[in-house]
Amino acid sequence: MSNPPVSKWFKSTRSETSKQCVEIKFEDGGVAVRDSKNPSGPVLAFDGMAWDRFLDSGIWER
């Protein structure tokens, strides 16, 4: 995984406001993931290699 800058939480521009979505945030060396409907809830943290494996493991609709 390249080293994206530390960022703010965001979700896909293709997501709809009425749908369940996740938000991600690039952190030093990894990615954090949370439920957009519960921003104060638990956060999943992935290191860069784990995030890359996750993305490579599926077929994603775009």
**Stretch 17-38: mean pLDDT, rounded?**
86
Q: Which two tokens stand for residue 45?
A: 């943290």
Residue with tokens 């956060």: 43
Residue 31 lies in a domain: yes
10: DSSP letter: B
Residue 52 has pLDDT above 70, yes or no: yes
For residues 23 and 10, is the Cβ–Cβ distance under 8 A? yes
Q: How many domains does the chain have?
A: 1
Q: Which two tokens stand for residue 36?
A: 């957009």
Q: Which domain holds residue 23?
A: 10-57
Whole-number pLDDT of residue 12: 76
Residue 53 lies in a domain: yes
Whole-number pLDDT of residue 9: 92
For residues 43 and 32, is the Cβ–Cβ distance under 8 A? yes
pLDDT digits (tens, 9 = 90+) for 1-13: 555 555 799 987 7
pLDDT digits (tens, 9 = 90+) for 30-51: 999 999 889 899 999 999 999 9
Whole-number pLDDT of residue 15: 74
Cβ neighbors of 27 (< 8 A, separation 6 or more) are 6, 45
